[in-house]
Amino acid sequence: MLFDIKDLQVEYTVRDSVARAVNKVTLNLAGGESLGLAGESGCGKTTLGNAILRILPEGGQIRGGSINLNGVDLVKLSEEKMRQVRWKEISMVFQGAMNSFDPTMNIENQIAEAILIHQRDTSKETALERARELLPLCGINPLLGKSYPHELSGGMKQRGCIAMALALQPKLLIADEITTALDVMTQAQIFTLLRDMKRKFNLSMIVISHDLAVLAKNCDRLAIMYAGHIVEIGTIQDIFDHPRHPYVKGLLFCIPNFAGGREIIPAIKGAPPSLLAPPQGCPFHPRCPIAIPKCKTAAPQLLPVNTNNHSVACYRKDYKDVIWK
Ligand SMILES: Nc1ncnc2c1ncn2[C@@H]1O[C@H](COP(=O)(O)OP(=O)(O)O)[C@@H](O)[C@H]1O
Ligand SMILES: [Mg+2]
């Protein structure tokens, strides 16, 4: 599989104002590869996921760019054709999904229901059979299939959500903040499950989280978003060992130092801009300690800094000195 997004633009229109939540986003993903998508709350991560599946909420619209899956531009597909893609080719585990199970339906029936919704020609029996196969595959004891949501732990419910998303063997899974509400042990188990699935089915994944450390541990590559833009993208090693964007350098500075066990106080002062009235030029320039006049007039493009697919959107990407203290 080859998944390729180019210059994607997504806007929300709220009354008379327009918020550009995804701004000229370009990224690609190979078969069996996992990309972590990180960034502060409100920077456009969920919007990007929803845009890929074309399930934007009211007021949200794709305004430009392309989303290529094996050479087919999903942006141009009819709604009917897009229905063939959703869940079968690309599926998503939604933020908070584990808390939106139907309380009156047991877990195997809920998984079967999801199969029936997305593959209408399936019989109820076949769907239920498939649901029962999926349970152990996702680390759920089949005996728990008859349990209701309130009888299951958070981790088991999240496994149920993953089972649902993988029911039709998609090529790409988008996982949006799926471990945010879980304890650290359960979080690790969920990621072990995802890694197993990735290997077993050559599944590609976009893993959305605001937690850089979690993404570093569980993904092959990392993209950092800021105010609707991807500001840096590369392998985990590129990003962690050779960050180039001042914002990314600041974020890494905020991560607790594992070796020293020391919690470091956030370095970047201020808050991200409102997407309704973003600054001209680079969206990060008002908080950037090394901004130059050019940064205030034109947004820098995401350009490669090595042959490894490591790209950065910053005019000052070659600045070597310490920025954050
Ligand atoms: N349903 C919506 N209607 C209008 N604006 C929205 C809606 N959802 C998100 N936005 C806008 O898009 C921005 C990005 O939101 P979102 O994609 O949910 O960010 P993230 O997932 O990174 O927290 C928000 O800051 C908000 O301005
Ligand atoms: Mg979100």
Which protein residue has the closest C-alpha to ligand 1 atom 20? 42
Give 47 Cα–ligand 1 centroid separation in angstroms. Answer: 6
What are the C-alpha distances in Å from 201 to residues 1, 137, 195, 198, 243?
12, 12, 10, 6, 32
Which protein residue has the closest C-alpha to ligand 1 atom 12? 21
Which protein residue has the closest C-alpha to ligand 1 atom 18? 46
Give 229 Cα–ligand 2 centroid separation in angstroms. Answer: 15
Indicate the Cα dihedral angle 128, 170, 37, 319, nearest 10°: 160
Q: Which two tokens stand for residue 39?
A: 């960034």
Name the H helices within 141-274: 154-166, 184-201, 212-218, 236-241, 246-254
Give 307 Cα–ligand 2 centroid separation in angstroms. Answer: 31
Give 209 Cα–ligand 2 centroid separation in angstroms. Answer: 8
Which protein residue has the closest C-alpha to ligand 1 atom 8? 47
Please report the DSSP string for 52-67 in residue order. HHT-PPTTEEEEEEEE
Give 196 Cα–ligand 1 centroid separation in angstroms. Answer: 31
Residues flanking ligand 1, CB < 6 Å: 12, 14, 19, 21, 39, 41-47, 57, 59, 275
Per-residue confidence (pLDDT) for residue 248, from 0 to 100:
95
Per-residue pLDDT tens digits for 139-182: 999 999 999 999 999 999 999 999 999 999 999 999 999 998 89
Give 177 Cα–ligand 2 centroid separation in angstroms. Answer: 7
Give 11 Cα–ligand 1 centroid separation in angstroms. Answer: 9
Per-residue confidence (pLDDT) for residue 252, from 0 to 100:
87
- Going through the chain in order, the beta strands assigned E by DSSP cover 2-14, 17-30, 34-38, 60-69, 72-73, 90-93, 172-176, 204-208, 221-226, 229-235, 303-304, 311-312
Ligand 1 atom closest to residue 95's alpha carbon, by position in its atom list: 21
Ligand 1 atom closest to residue 50's alpha carbon, by position in its atom list: 17
Per-residue confidence (pLDDT) for residue 269, from 0 to 100:
85
What is the value of pTM for the model shown?
0.95
Pairing status of strand 172-176 against strand 90-93? parallel
Give CA–CA dist 126/198, Å, rounded: 25
Do 54 and 136 form a contact (C-beta atoms < 8 A)?
Answer: no
Q: Where are the domains of the chain?
A: 249-325
Burial class (CB in 10 A: 0-12, 13-18, 19+), 271: exposed
* The length of the chain, given as a count of residues: 325
| Closest listed ligand to the CA of 13 | 1
Do 208 and 45 form a contact (C-beta atoms < 8 A)?
Answer: yes
SS3 85: helix
For the chain, list residues with pLDDT below 50.
Answer: none
| Closest listed ligand to the CA of 40 | 1
Do 20 and 10 form a contact (C-beta atoms < 8 A)?
Answer: yes
Q: Which of 8, 47, 93, 178 to mutate to test the pocket of ligand 1 (most atoms within 8 A of CB)?
A: 47
Give CA–CA dist 18/320, Å, rounded: 37
Which protein residue has the closest C-alpha to ligand 1 atom 1? 57
